[in-house]
Copies of this chain bind each other. A is one copy, B any other.
Amino acid sequence: MNTIISGIAGIAGIAGRIRKKRSIGLPPGTPVFTGEKTPESANASIMVIDFNDSGFTENAAPSIEECIPGPNFDMTRWIMVSGLGDVEKIQSAGKAFNLHPLITEDILDMHQTPKIDIYSDIIFLVLKSLCVSPDGGLATEQLSIINGKNYVITFQEKKSPVFDNIINRIKTNSGRLRREKADYLLYVLVDCIVDNYFEVTDRLDETLEEMEDVLTSSRASLAQLRRIHTLRHAVTTLRKSVRPLVHIVNELRHEELPNSQTNLTIYFKDLYDHIFQVVETIETHRDMITVLLDLYLSSINNQINKIMQFLTLIGTIFLPLTFITSLYGMNFEYMPELKWHYGYFYALGLMVVTAVCMALYFKLKKWI
A interface list, Cβ under 8 A from B? 16, 19-22, 24-30, 100, 102, 106, 113, 115, 117, 165, 169, 174-177, 187-188, 191-192, 195-196, 198-199, 201-202, 205, 209, 212, 216, 218, 222, 225-226, 229, 232, 236, 240, 266-267, 269-270, 273-274, 276-277, 280, 284, 287, 291, 293-294, 297-298, 300-302, 304-305, 307-309, 311-316, 318-323, 325-344, 347, 367
* Minimum distance in angstroms from A10 CB to a CB of chain B: 17
* Minimum distance in angstroms from A175 CB to a CB of chain B: 3
* Minimum distance in angstroms from A331 CB to a CB of chain B: 5
CA distance A261 to B236 in the complex (A): 41
* Minimum distance in angstroms from A313 CB to a CB of chain B: 7
Is the contact region of chain A dominated by helix, strand, or loop, or is it mixed? helix
Report whether A29 and B212 are in contact in the complex, using a CB–CB cutoff of 8 Å.
no
Report whether A332 and B328 are in contact in the complex, using a CB–CB cutoff of 8 Å.
yes
CA distance A277 to B109 in the complex (A): 14
CA distance A321 to B326 in the complex (A): 10
**Cβ-closest 3 pairs across A and B:** A27-B175, A25-B165, A325-B326
CA distance A117 to B327 in the complex (A): 86
Report whether B117 and A266 are in contact in the complex, using a CB–CB cutoff of 8 Å.
yes
B residues in contact with A176, CB < 8 Å: 27, 29
B residues in contact with A312, CB < 8 Å: 308, 311-312
Report whether B280 and A21 are in contact in the complex, using a CB–CB cutoff of 8 Å.
no
B residues in contact with A216, CB < 8 Å: 222, 225-226, 229
Report whether B328 and A331 are in contact in the complex, using a CB–CB cutoff of 8 Å.
yes
Report whether A102 and B169 are in contact in the complex, using a CB–CB cutoff of 8 Å.
no
A19-B205, A322-B322, A332-B340 given; name 19 further pairs at CB < 8 Å.
A22-B195, A27-B169, A29-B176, A102-B267, A115-B273, A117-B269, A240-B280, A301-B301, A304-B305, A311-B312, A314-B316, A315-B319, A318-B319, A318-B323, A322-B323, A325-B326, A331-B331, A332-B337, A336-B344
